[in-house]
Amino acid sequence: MTVAALITAAGRGTRAGGGIPKQWQPLAGRRVIDWTLAALAPFADRVLLVLHPEDMALAPSGFEVTEGGATRRESVRLGLEHLARQGTAPCHVLIHDAARATLPPAVVDGVLSALRAGAPAAAPALPVTDALWSAQDGRVTGTRDREGLHAAQTPQGFEFAAILAAHRAHEGDAADDVAVALAAGLPVTITPGHPDNLKITHAADFDRAQRILGGQMDIRTGTGFDVHRFGPGDHCMLCGVAVPHERGLQGHSDADVGLHALADAIYGALAEGDIGRHFPPSDPQWKGAESHVFLRHAVGLASRKGFRITNMDITLLCERPRIGPHAETMRAALAAITGLETGRISVKATTTERLGFTGREEGIAAQAVVTMVKTCA
């Protein structure tokens, strides 16, 4: 089941104050939209941001983007059309508000479970438990029965083809995508919402979101260390880049000491052992393998566990080859492999002042540190 996440972020959010739309405002050390992406992206094969035309340059790297419309419903329709037009259309789509940055993973799991069970549409909600009043001019004019009422949340999930057809046929605006689905005759399954799935609307909501995120962040740090000896060859694979040298590095795979150290740092932060546990050197299928396979696997494992890697720092220890001229190319290669921004990747090198095996130019060592964050339910 392929899943796309469509995140609406084209609104202006003036009620929240702050001078800029709320999705771009800072929250707990990051922007609101960055928290939203970290919470939802691990569940999706594709992630599409629907942005205001003036905000396109603000989009985080590594995600699809398209321009939205004058209303939320129009933005969703344009996003769905983009997903249908660009690449292979997904089986299901999760439509989520960028302003819901404190999304617990359990809410997404509930929606996806209903879709996998055959529901054409599913959406999280909380039963209304407070008394309901009608009012006029600041005074209570009556009460309303709360029986059977629910407060809607997102992400709202749908069979992609069905919700695309529903939006194409819908006339006028709609409260949300469930309203569009109901107008098209689609049954909608209610899944469990969560009180922490807050939609930031007013300035005071930022304080509440800060408390939620501050109390529910799982921050992990892992370290990795690897060594490979020199042998015959005319280049070394280092951090995904073929660096010319009169000798190559020897190993069961392509011996990219940098990628190995980074992968081990990720596995360590996840308490998932090391490369050898996941890719045993005794298995002949990995002989000569390109090491980006190992790093991609480690990054994917972190994502499936709900973690977002926030930075990677690697140091190469060698006398030669010189790393400085290749450092930026290595950062770009690591960004392509991991999906991180280059601004979150550090590549540097040092010598050991001619001491030890690296000083004698018998091989190259690498040490890496990786930090990752998970927003917990």
CA distance 304 to 154: 20
CA distance 156 to 177: 7
Looking at the chain, the whole-number percentage of residues with pLDDT higher than 70 is: 97
Mean pLDDT of the region 239-252: 92
pLDDT given at position 322: 94
Mean pLDDT of the region 89-94: 97
pLDDT given at position 33: 95
pLDDT given at position 13: 67
Q: Could you tell me the domains of the chain?
A: 3-215 (3.90.550.10), 218-375 (3.30.1330.50)
Q: pLDDT tens digits for 259-296?
A: 999 999 999 999 999 998 999 888 888 888 899 999 99
Identity of residue 207: D
DSSP code, position 200:
-
Question: Which of 270, 268, 275, 272 is CA-nearest to residue 253?
Answer: 275
pLDDT given at position 7: 97
Phi, psi dihedrals of residue 192, rounded to the nearest 5°: -65, 130
Is the pLDDT assigned to residue 149 strictly greater than 60? yes
Is the pLDDT assigned to residue 163 strictly greater than 70? yes
Phi, psi dihedrals of residue 311, rounded to the nearest 5°: -160, 155
Is the pLDDT assigned to residue 216 strictly greater than 70? no
Q: Are 345 and 331 in contact (CB under 8 A)?
A: yes
Q: pLDDT tens digits for 40-81?
A: 999 999 999 999 999 999 998 889 999 999 999 999 999 999
Is the pLDDT assigned to residue 166 strictly greater than 70? yes
CA distance 342 to 328: 9
CA distance 293 to 356: 31
Q: pLDDT tens digits for 318-361?
A: 999 999 999 999 999 999 999 888 999 999 999 999 999 999 99
Tokens 């109390």 found at: 215
Strand, coil or helix: 243: strand
Question: Which of 220, 230, 271, 226 is CA-nearest to residue 368?
Answer: 226
Is the pLDDT assigned to residue 237 strictly greater than 80? yes
Mean pLDDT of the region 204-223: 85
* Cα four-point dihedral sign 154, 372, 337, 251: negative
Tokens 């959010």 found at: 13
Identity of residue 73: R
pLDDT confidence of 198, banded at 50, 70, 90? very high
Tokens of 247: 């000798």
Is the pLDDT assigned to residue 232 strictly greater than 70? yes
| The model's pTM | 0.60
Element holding 212 (H helix, E strand)? helix 203-215
Is the pLDDT assigned to residue 17 strictly greater than 80? no
CA distance 284 to 168: 53
* Cα four-point dihedral sign 29, 35, 38, 41: negative
Q: Between 95 and 253, where is the model more confident?
A: 95
Mean pLDDT of the region 305-329: 94
Mean pLDDT of the region 241-261: 93
Phi, psi dihedrals of residue 49, rounded to the nearest 5°: -100, 125
Mean pLDDT of the region 213-237: 89
Is the pLDDT assigned to residue 31 strictly greater than 70? yes
pLDDT confidence of 377, banded at 50, 70, 90? very low
Q: What angle do CA 189, 191, 196 make, to 5 degrees?
A: 145
Is the pLDDT assigned to residue 34 strictly greater than 80? yes
DSSP code, position 255:
-
Tokens of 374: 């998970």
CA distance 161 to 344: 37
Q: Which residues pair with 311 in a beta bridge?
A: 371
Is the pLDDT assigned to residue 376 strictly greater than 60? no
pLDDT given at position 151: 95
Q: Are 363 and 229 in contact (CB under 8 A)?
A: yes
**Count of C-beta atoms within a 10 Å radius of residue 304:** 11
Is the pLDDT assigned to residue 231 strictly greater than 70? yes
Question: Which of 96, 100, 149, 99 is CA-nearest to residue 126?
Answer: 149
Strands of 308-317's sheet in order across: 248-249, 217-231, 363-375, 308-317, 345-350
